[in-house]
């Protein structure tokens, strides 16, 4: 568009002057005095063929400056031509200058011809206000004037005003012509007003215009937009000679726009058979009809035909090709088309940006956005939505903020879609302050806004806030649907509020919102809340179980330490048509890890290999964790070493694995190597590292890395870090230092911190500090049965049986129960569970007989004597011995000795810390029965071999 004109354009001003009466001659009062010109056709023809605004104005200026000819000059033709050029170029400013010059020179109020041309120009340039002003001032209107004004309204998104004008025209008595119908029919289609459209159709028949090709095409389009494809097809079928490309375009577009892709493409084939030449509109409609992968081959055939033809491809066809390949997920082909496109427009860029985001190529989307800006293409709201969405998916807060800043700078931040995308992006980047602000700044919020903000809080563990907003959304009249309920269930799961889960479940049933997504979510939530029976009932009620249904139930069993049930469910799942995916298999690996079921874990690993699953990060992490948890550190290291690109989570998993085995120095070496690779550790990494230092007695190293968290990486310690550091000091018998450290913690130390100190006080019999820690613990966490048991044990070790009795009665009165000690052992591909003094096992008689034999052998040959002081019950000495002999890990060891081949390792998992007497017992068994014992307790791994333990008696 020309925006700066030569010096002679100073004759034209953009001001709106009062309309003056038209005269063939310029008035003498006009500042520019021009002679009369003759109707020289050669002169005018050369003028009409000028295509550029700059040359057009220069030619017009030369006509005005020509003083040699005194023939009458046809001003109407001259101005008409330049106005048409302004309209085609959408050069509103220049059109206004011409309007001002006409008004200043000769007036237009009585020139219907020039007024109509001006109306047409304003309509094409999108200035409906100026068009309406001019229309209202016209004393005389022809059918061309009415058509121009109606067309201006339709093309500028005011179809209702177009209908009103049409009715005014009918009242005025103006005669309709065939050009009136396309405009008014387009307005009817835009309004989806079939009744009005049918009336216009009747009028077209009455006036005899119904046989005019462009009227027929407009009728076809109107019926299609009003969802009356039968009417559209009937009209098209009545055309006897189907050689008009516009007719074909209208009917093909009609079907494509209404989702009838197959019918649209069949019509396209029929048109080709009749040898009707395609044009750009035909190709765009046909490409749009190729809506999914079913039509992929046909879409590529159309592309090939386009390349073979001699058609000059316009931007619309190329953009349609881009959109088609994006729908197919063929981003390589889309990029090839995009790169070959010389004159890219905003739609081209937006199509590619959307394609990258939809296909998970988020980095490519951000690169394209930068490329787009470097080439001077100004992003619009669609571009911003895509770049913000890509930033959110990558968790790249910096890019997300840049996109937000750009939206504010360009005044696009008030756009509803951008607002919703910003909320989602900040949620995915865990930046909840900005998420809340973005939501609050939205002047208009829709259902998606509320759903997104609730999901954002729920997914970032702000469960109370999520539930508060869900209530507020309902008071605002927002309709609750399955997506919002899914977020509400997630919040209930995080808070473990069972009654809210049940209330939500009831709401779903009353409102009939039961879809499979919610059914799966309810199974998952009941499982997370410990209601395995409810979860199982819901699972059974799902008629068509998909992979998510099975995975939810598998996760339920794994979460509630029901690994055998998880394995049984996996076997049942194999008998269905549902294909296992990585998520389901990762859940099973977690079950194998939780029970140290090495054989099951190896089976799953083999399944991964046989099925050719992609070695993704989560799979590698789960395999490393499984092998490490099953006591096979060597295999865990092999899997870790086979990974080419190691992410932070995998580094952390391996550091934690070394820590579980007491290999603190190896964990530190791995941490240093990770730093050398340029990876930045997070809170979880430091937690694993401190854990490794604690269980290896690396006091100085632990102190150094705890300080390094805040000093070098600006990470504020979590309560878990404080507890781990207190545990580190406590294990080294630095109890006074640990107590001072607890008192130095800013804010209120958590129950976990005091619990760590209390545990150390118990080990080293520091009664004074132990009592302080016990009081603090009861104040902070009075509902945790594990804390009661620990305090009770400390009191019992001091012989304060009266206090122990009072504490246990208090615990009983609160309805709290001690978590019973359990041990697991995998034998013959099945996990066997034992509790203390358990006699429920089918081979219980054999197990106790073997245990008695083993105990007597150790007493006779190794001088083993039970450490009855570890039994913190006020009972006789003989009963204390019986209690020790009935510990769950001893039952598991005995069962392992009678059910596994001689010389093979026995692998056991226990949910509590191994007591000192069982630790001694295990060392002696490994020596005198020549069996390696691998025991994983609540704290770490113990490898007993030839009378020694890998923990060096430090656990």
Identify the burial level of 901 via C-beta atoms within 10 angstroms of its C-beta, where 0-12 means exposed, 13-18 middle and 19 or more buried. exposed
Whole-number Å distance between alpha carbons of 512 and 370: 47
Domain boundary among 691, 716, 741: 716
Count: domains in the chain: 4
Residues 472 and 438 placed together within one structural domain of the fold:
no
**Arithmetic mean of pLDDT over the chain:** 83
Whole-number Å distance between alpha carbons of 438 and 423: 6
Residues 393 and 472 placed together within one structural domain of the fold:
no
| DSSP one-letter code for 686 | H
| Run of H or E including 852 | helix 844-861
User: Cβ atoms within 10 A of the Cβ of 126, count?
Assistant: 15
Q: Which two tokens stand for residue 714?
A: 């600006």
State the average pLDDT over residues 33-46: 35
Q: Sorting pLDDT into bands at 50, 70 and 90, what band is 14?
A: very low
| Domain-located, residue 431 | yes
- 634 pLDDT above the threshold of 80: yes
State the average pLDDT over residues 921-950: 92
Q: Find the range with the poorest average confidence among 383-397, 414-428, 478-492, 863-877.
A: 863-877
State the average pLDDT over residues 728-738: 91
Query: What strand order describes the sheet that includes 941-945?
Result: 830-835, 822-827, 906-910, 933-936, 941-945, 948-949
Backbone angles phi, psi at 402, to 5 degrees: -65, -45
Q: Which two tokens stand for residue 19?
A: 């309309």
Buried b or exposed e, range 911-948, using 16+ CB within 10 angstroms: bbebbebbbbbbbbbbbbeebebbbbbebbbbbbbeee
Q: What tens digit of pLDDT does each residue of 332-341 get?
A: 999 999 998 8
Residues 415 and 496 placed together within one structural domain of the fold:
no
| Domain-located, residue 937 | yes
pLDDT at res. 482? 85
pLDDT at res. 533? 92
pLDDT at res. 50? 42
Of the candidates 880, 938, 889, 883, the one whose C-alpha atom is nearest the C-alpha of residue 918 is 889
The total number of residues shown for the chain amounts to: 955
State the average pLDDT over residues 446-474: 92
- 74 pLDDT above the threshold of 60: no
- 18 pLDDT above the threshold of 60: no
Residues 898 and 848 placed together within one structural domain of the fold:
yes
Residues 428 and 370 placed together within one structural domain of the fold:
yes
| Run of H or E including 537 | helix 532-541
pLDDT at res. 365? 93
Whole-number Å distance between alpha carbons of 410 and 344: 21
Residues 418 and 483 placed together within one structural domain of the fold:
no
Buried b or exposed e, range 232-264, using 16+ CB within 10 angstroms: bbebbeebeeeeebbbbbbbbbbbbbbebbebb
| Domain-located, residue 700 | yes
- 312 pLDDT above the threshold of 70: no
C-alpha separations of 664 from 597, 634, 656 in Å: 25, 16, 9
pLDDT at res. 654? 95
Look up the domain containing 374 and give its range. 344-442
State the CATH number of the domain containing residue 362: 1.25.40
pLDDT at res. 782? 67
Backbone angles phi, psi at 952, to 5 degrees: 55, 35
Q: Sorting pLDDT into bands at 50, 70 and 90, what band is 615?
A: low
pLDDT at res. 294? 81
Category of 208 on φ-ψ map: left (φ > 0), alpha (ψ -120 to 50) or beta: left
pLDDT at res. 269? 86
Whole-number Å distance between alpha carbons of 582 and 294: 27
pLDDT at res. 497? 83
Residues 355 and 464 placed together within one structural domain of the fold:
no
Q: Which two tokens stand for residue 603?
A: 């089976």
Q: Sorting pLDDT into bands at 50, 70 and 90, what band is 558?
A: confident
| Domain-located, residue 378 | yes
Look at 638 and 258; give whichever has higher pLDDT.
638
* Whole-number percent of the chain with pLDDT over 70: 86
Q: Sorting pLDDT into bands at 50, 70 and 90, what band is 103?
A: confident
Domain boundary among 676, 699, 716: 716
Whole-number Å distance between alpha carbons of 746 and 150: 73
- 926 pLDDT above the threshold of 90: yes
Q: Sorting pLDDT into bands at 50, 70 and 90, what band is 24?
A: very low
Residues 837 and 934 placed together within one structural domain of the fold:
yes
Residues 458 and 429 placed together within one structural domain of the fold:
no
- 53 pLDDT above the threshold of 60: yes
Q: Sorting pLDDT into bands at 50, 70 and 90, what band is 349?
A: very high
79-93, 108-122, 931-945, range with greatest mean pLDDT: 931-945
Of the candidates 881, 895, 889, the one whose C-alpha atom is nearest the C-alpha of residue 923 is 889
286-300, 344-358, 796-810, range with greatest mean pLDDT: 344-358
Long-range contacts of 839-847 (CB under 8 A, 24+ apart): 841/891, 841/895, 843/895, 843/898, 843/899, 846/898, 847/891, 847/894, 847/895, 847/898
| Domain-located, residue 473 | yes
Backbone angles phi, psi at 528, to 5 degrees: -65, -30
Q: What tens digit of pLDDT does each residue of 359-414 get?
A: 999 999 999 999 998 888 889 999 999 999 999 999 899 999 999 999 998 888 88
pLDDT at res. 748? 83
C-alpha separations of 929 from 203, 248, 845, 944, 952 in Å: 105, 90, 21, 12, 20
| Domain-located, residue 853 | yes
Residues 473 and 422 placed together within one structural domain of the fold:
no
Residues 927 and 862 placed together within one structural domain of the fold:
yes
Domain boundary among 514, 549, 571: 514
Q: How many helices (H) and strands (E) does the chain have?
A: 50, 6
Of the candidates 735, 743, 793, the one whose C-alpha atom is nearest the C-alpha of residue 916 is 793
- 25 pLDDT above the threshold of 60: no
pLDDT at res. 10? 35
pLDDT at res. 815? 61
Look at 235 and 691; give whichever has higher pLDDT.
691
Q: What is the DSSP string of 179-191?
A: THHHHHHHHHHHT
Q: What tens digit of pLDDT does each residue of 756-783 get?
A: 898 888 788 888 888 888 888 877 766 6
Q: Evaluate whether 331 touches 366 at the Cβ level (below 8 Å).
A: no
Whole-number Å distance between alpha carbons of 802 and 811: 14
Whole-number Å distance between alpha carbons of 246 and 219: 12
| Domain-located, residue 450 | yes
- 28 pLDDT above the threshold of 60: no
Look at 17 and 489; give whichever has higher pLDDT.
489
State the average pLDDT over residues 563-580: 83
| Domain-located, residue 282 | no
pLDDT at res. 706? 95
Q: Sorting pLDDT into bands at 50, 70 and 90, what band is 72?
A: very low
In the three-class reduction of DSSP (H, G, I as helix; E, B as strand; rest coil), residue 441 is classed as coil
Q: What is the largest CA-CA distance in the chain?
A: 139
| Run of H or E including 136 | helix 128-137
Residues 388 and 468 placed together within one structural domain of the fold:
no
């Amino acid at each position: 568009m020309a925006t700066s004109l030569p010096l002679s354009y100073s004759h034209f001003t953009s001001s709106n002057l009062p309309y003056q009466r038209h005269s063939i001659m310029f008035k003498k009062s006009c500042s520019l005095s021009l002679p009369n010109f003759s109707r020289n056709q050669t002169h005018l023809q050369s003028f009409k063929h000028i295509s550029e605004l700059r040359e057009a104005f220069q030619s017009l200026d030369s006509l005005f400056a020509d003083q040699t000819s005194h023939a009458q000059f046809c001003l109407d033709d001259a101005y008409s031509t330049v106005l048409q050029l302004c309209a085609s170029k959408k050069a509103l400013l220049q059109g206004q200058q011409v309007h001002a010059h006409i008004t200043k020179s000769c007036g237009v109020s009585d020139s219907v011809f020039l007024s109509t041309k001006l109306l047409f120009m304003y309509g094409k340039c999108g200035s409906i206000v100026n068009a309406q002003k001019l229309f209202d001032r016209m004393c005389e209107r022809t059918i061309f004037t009415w058509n121009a004004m109606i067309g201006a309204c339709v093309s500028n998104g005011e179809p209702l005003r177009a209908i009103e004008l049409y009715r005014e025209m009918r009242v005025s008595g103006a005669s309709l012509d065939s050009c009136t119908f396309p405009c008014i029919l387009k307005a009817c289609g835009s309004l989806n007003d079939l009744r009005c459209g049918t009336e216009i159709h009747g009028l077209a028949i009455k006036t005899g215009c119904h046989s005019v090709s462009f009227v027929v095409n407009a009728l076809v389009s109107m019926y299609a937009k009003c969802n009356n494809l039968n009417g559209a097809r009937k009209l098209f079928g009545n055309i006897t000679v189907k050689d008009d490309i516009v007719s074909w375009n209208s009917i093909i577009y009609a079907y494509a726009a209404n989702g009838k892709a197959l019918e649209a493409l069949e019509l396209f084939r029929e048109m080709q058979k009749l040898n009707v030449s395609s044009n750009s509109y035909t190709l765009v409609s046909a490409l749009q009809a190729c809506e999914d992968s079913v039509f992929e081959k046909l879409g590529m055939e159309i592309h090939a035909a386009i390349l073979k033809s001699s058609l000059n491809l316009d931007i619309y066809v190329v953009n349609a090709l881009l959109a088609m390949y994006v729908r197919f997920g063929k981003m390589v082909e889309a990029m090839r088309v995009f790169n070959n496109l010389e004159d890219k427009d905003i739609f081209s860029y937006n199509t590619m940006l959307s394609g990258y985001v939809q296909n998970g190529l988020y980095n490519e989307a951000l690169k394209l956005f930068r490329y787009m800006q470097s080439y001077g293409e100004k992003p619009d709201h669609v571009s911003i939505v895509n770049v913000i969405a890509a930033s959110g998916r990558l968790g790249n807060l910096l890019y997300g903020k840049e996109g937000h800043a750009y939206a504010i700078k360009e005044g696009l931040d008030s756009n509803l879609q951008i607002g919703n995308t910003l909320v989602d992006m900040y949620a995915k980047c865990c930046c909840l302050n900005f998420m809340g602000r973005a939501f609050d700044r939205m002047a208009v919020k829709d259902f998606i806004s509320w759903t997104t903000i609730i999901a954002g809080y729920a997914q970032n563990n702000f469960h109370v806030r999520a539930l508060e907003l869900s209530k507020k959304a309902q008071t605002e009249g927002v309709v609750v649907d399955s997506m919002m309920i899914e977020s509400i269930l997630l919040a209930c799961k995080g808070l473990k509020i069972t009654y809210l889960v049940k209330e939500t479940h009831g709401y779903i049933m009353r409102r009939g919102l039961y879809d499979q997504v919610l059914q799966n979510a309810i199974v998952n939530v009941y499982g997370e809340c410990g209601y395995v029976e409810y979860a199982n009932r819901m699972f059974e009620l799902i008629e068509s179980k998909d992979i998510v249904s099975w995975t939810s139930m598998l996760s339920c069993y794994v979460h509630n330490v029901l690994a055998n049930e998880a394995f049984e469910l996996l076997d049942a799942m194999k008998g269905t048509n549902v294909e296992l995916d990585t998520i389901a298999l990762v859940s099973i690996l977690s079950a194998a890890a939780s029970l140290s079921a090495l054989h099951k874990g190896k089976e799953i690993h083999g399944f991964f290999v046989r099925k050719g699953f992609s070695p993704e990060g989560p799979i590698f992490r789960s395999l490393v964790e499984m092998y490490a948890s099953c006591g096979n550190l060597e295999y865990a290291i092999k899997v870790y070493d086979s990974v080419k690109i190691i992410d932070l989570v995998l580094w952390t998993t391996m550091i934690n694995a070394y820590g579980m085995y007491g290999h603190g120095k190896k964990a530190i070496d791995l941490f240093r190597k990770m730093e050398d690779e340029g990876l930045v550790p997070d809170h979880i990494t430091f937690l694993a590292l401190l854990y490794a230092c604690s269980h290896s007695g690396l006091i100085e190293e632990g102190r150094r890395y705890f300080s390094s968290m805040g000093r070098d990486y600006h990470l504020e310690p979590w309560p878990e870090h404080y507890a781990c550091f207190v545990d580190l000091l406590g294990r080294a018998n630095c109890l006074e230092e640990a107590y001072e450290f607890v008192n130095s913690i800013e804010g209120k130390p958590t129950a976990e911190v005091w619990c760590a100190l209390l545990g150390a006080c118990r080990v080293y019999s520091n009664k004074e500090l132990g009592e302080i820690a016990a009081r603090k613990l009861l104040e902070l966490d009075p509902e945790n049965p594990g804390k009661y048991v620990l305090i009770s044990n400390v009191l019992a070790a001091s012989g304060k049986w009266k206090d122990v009795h009072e504490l246990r009665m208090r615990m009983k009165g609160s309805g709290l129960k001690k978590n019973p000690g359990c041990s697991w052992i995998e034998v013959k591909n099945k996990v066997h569970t034992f509790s203390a003094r358990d006699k429920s096992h089918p081979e219980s008689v054999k197990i106790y007989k073997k245990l008695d034999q083993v105990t007597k052998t150790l007493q006779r040959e190794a001088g083993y004597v039970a450490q009855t002081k570890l039994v913190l019950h006020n009972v006789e000495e003989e009963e204390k011995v019986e209690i020790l002999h009935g510990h769950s890990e001893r039952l598991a060891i005995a069962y392992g000795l009678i059910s596994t081949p001689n010389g093979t390792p026995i692998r056991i998992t226990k949910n509590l810390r191994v007591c000192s007497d069982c630790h001694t017992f295990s060392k002696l068994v490994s020596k005198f029965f020549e069996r390696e014992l691998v025991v994983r307790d609540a704290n770490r791994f113990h490898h007993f071999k030839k009378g020694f333990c890998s923990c060096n008696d430090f656990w």
